[in-house]
Structure 1
């Protein structure tokens, strides 16, 4: 099943003399169960693209299909329902509610649904176990490390069992150990639950956990790299492509 289809999407900011084209006639597809990274130099349009595909923003021209549904012309109420039922987000700055416990933060997306309490508790137990949060459920965000906060953010995003998970620089605030742990959890969830993941990153180490990388430059498709061997080999291919495209930062070696 095709989970994401972007058709000739362009995004402009400003007008006339101040016009900036952030995305330029961009097209690509992501199938169900893929773990796809979006990379490119600073200013390439990565975050703009993620915002459009994840329904946060609208393209100037073009179409976006998620799980077979064209989303670019849905009303705000239709988009809100679609986000709640189909999409999960992992943000770089976590967006946790400080007055709620870890348990309450994780189950928060389901509080407006009609799911029975038993199902909510089953999901909480499963994702808490997957993301090593079981012993932290009664703590508050200010009692957690940065890595733990990001894992809570990931668990919260997965509680609705989204068709697709969007991640915007999810390891950007993490140290090497925490980043590796989070990426291993995402890879496991992608493999075991067939959760489709689209992740924006500038870091080759982070990207090496993906199955495929789409490189964009100046808002347009530049190239792609598909993993076909070890993660180390894939990491090296990503580094080579970053050098070719003229951007990106190598932060960690694998």
Structure 2
């Protein structure tokens, strides 16, 4: 049974003769526990698609189902509750609050939900250990590196133990070492916690950590790749597909 199901999703912007089609009728499924990437040229509709699947935006037509629940027609209040309880989000801009410590940023979702203090402390210890943040909890966000800040954002997204984690260009602001570390942590979360991850990226190296890549172009499904051999081999497949779709170049990081 599919965990995420997109049914003929369409998203139009503008009106009258100025209509622009961002997503032109996409249908696909994602199984529970998959680590899936969405790729395509600039302007292909990647972030728009993620926002539709994450219920941050409403489709012009079509439906989104998560865990067999149709989210398309839920009220704003019901959608907000669904996101808060079951989804996690990591964005390129970390959105950490500078007036809070690392620990306070991480536990913010549980604090806002009035979770008991003992439960908050246990959850913080768990995600901090997984993401290597235990020694940084008392620091302020501006006292740690960009890679560490992104891991804090990841910890904040994971502390509610979401079934589904959305990541929009999570390595875009990171150097290669920090990006690799974050991707390794996401892989560990996917494997240990069986968290379903949906990641938007333009970068082939980032995409090579996924199990499957959905390529879109001009708001439509273009192709799909599944990782079957080594990550290095999958990286080369992604590069070749980017060249085919018109959004990549040949290079080698392995």
CA 1:163 to 1:105, structure 2 compared with 1: closer, same or farther past 3 Å? Answer: same
> Which stretch shifts more, 157-166 or 68-77?
68-77
Counterpart for residue 99 of structure 2:
99
1:170-220 CA-partner distances (Å, limit 9, x unpaired): 000000000000000000000010000000000000000000000000000
Counterpart for residue 219 of structure 1:
219
> Which stretch shifts more, 112-121 or 215-224?
112-121
- Provide the C-alpha distance between the structure 2 equivalents of 1:223 and 1:13, rounded to a whole number of angstroms: 25
Taking structure 1 as the reference length, the TM-score comes to 0.97
Counterpart for residue 50 of structure 2:
50
1:32-54 CA-partner distances (Å, limit 9, x unpaired): 10000000000100010011110
CA 1:86 to 1:249, structure 2 compared with 1: closer, same or farther past 3 Å? Answer: farther
Counterpart for residue 158 of structure 2:
158
List alignment gaps of at least 5 residues for structure 2: none
Shift of 1:114: 4.7
8 Å CA contact 1:205–1:252 kept in 2: the answer is no
Shift of 1:92: 0.3
List alignment gaps of at least 5 residues for structure 1: none
- Provide the C-alpha distance between the structure 2 equivalents of 1:149 and 1:112, rounded to a whole number of angstroms: 21
Please, what is the CA RMSD of the aligned residues? 1.2
CA 1:97 to 1:249, structure 2 compared with 1: closer, same or farther past 3 Å? Answer: farther
Shift of 1:249: 5.7
- Provide the C-alpha distance between the structure 2 equivalents of 1:117 and 1:160, rounded to a whole number of angstroms: 14
Alignment partner of 1:10 is 2:10:
yes
Taking structure 2 as the reference length, the TM-score comes to 0.97
Q: Which consecutive segments of 4 or more residues in structure 1 shift more than 3 A?
A: 248-252
Shift of 1:118: 2.1
> Which stretch shifts more, 204-213 or 111-120?
111-120
Alignment of 1:3-152 (within 5 A): 3-152=3-152
1:20-67 CA-partner distances (Å, limit 9, x unpaired): 000011011111100000000001000100111101100000000112
- Provide the C-alpha distance between the structure 2 equivalents of 1:38 and 1:199, rounded to a whole number of angstroms: 6
1:63-101 CA-partner distances (Å, limit 9, x unpaired): 001122111111111011001101000010101011000
8 Å CA contact 2:243–2:249 kept in 1: the answer is no
Shift of 1:250: 6.6
- Provide the C-alpha distance between the structure 2 equivalents of 1:5 and 1:249, rounded to a whole number of angstroms: 31
- Provide the C-alpha distance between the structure 2 equivalents of 1:134 and 1:3, rounded to a whole number of angstroms: 33
1:143-173 CA-partner distances (Å, limit 9, x unpaired): 1111010000000000110110000000000
Counterpart for residue 189 of structure 1:
189
> Which stretch shifts more, 153-162 or 13-22?
13-22
Shift of 1:251: 7.6
8 Å CA contact 1:2–1:30 kept in 2: the answer is yes
